[in-house]
A = this chain, B = another copy of it.
Amino acid sequence: MSKRIITISREFGAGGHTLGADLARAMGIAFYDQEIIDSAVAETGFSPEFVRDAGEYASSSHSFLFHLAMSHGMTSGGAMELSNYDKIYIAQARTIQEMANKSPCVIVGRCADYILRDRDDVFNVFVRANDEYRKQRILEHYGPVEGKSISERLQEKDKKRMLYYRHYTDREWGNIKNYHLVIDASVIPLDMAVRWIMEAVR
């Protein structure tokens, strides 16, 4: 069962973005991270800044109403009014599906595992790590933020990702059942994980 597309979900600071970039480079395939997805979506008319920020927040509309609208194929408004956040999610989902159709690729974040759930050529990875490892990595990669402890930044970002994922997928973020491989990056080095994934999808 060959897997053409690899999605990477990750806790903040666990190194999922680096893993994705290294993996795509090692495999010689396309790499789509949040920024690339955002910029593709921005081409649909929303400002790049608005798209970027929308990815951090779950829509203020009710998740149930969103899924109801989806199940009725109302992807562009209609009787039920969709929020701009919802519209951006829909544009992102379409973009991710196009990326997956085009060629083998690695996609980081943005509910890609859920958006591509009906394909059988997708390999879903989740990268986690213990708090100590993540805090050190955040300091090294992003530096300190005035007035906010690293613990607060960790919790805040994880919570946003969890809420965003739950809102749009109706599933729990980090549920073991949604991934083919979960690695703890504080114990399994990223370069080892890259080799393993390449072996698994071959």
The verdict on A123 contacting chain B, using a C-beta distance below 8 Å, is: yes
Asked if A181 and B179 sit within 8 Å, CB to CB, the answer is no
The verdict on A79 contacting chain B, using a C-beta distance below 8 Å, is: no
Could you tell me the distance in whole angstroms from the C-beta of A97 to the nearest C-beta in chain B? Answer: 21
Identical chains bound together, number:
2
Counting chain A residues whose Cβ lies within 8 A of the other chain, the interface size class is: 20 to 34
Asked if A184 and B179 sit within 8 Å, CB to CB, the answer is yes
- Bound-complex Cα distance A138 to B133 (A): 39
CB contact under 8 A between A176 and B128, given known A181-B184, A188-B181: yes
Segment at the interface with B among A42-50, A54-62, A149-157, A192-200: A192-200
* Most central of A1, A128, A179, A187 by chain B CB within 10 Å: A187
**12 A–B contacts from the bound complex (CB under 8 Å):** A1-B187, A3-B187, A126-B176, A128-B176, A174-B176, A176-B176, A179-B184, A181-B181, A181-B182, A181-B188, A182-B182, A187-B200
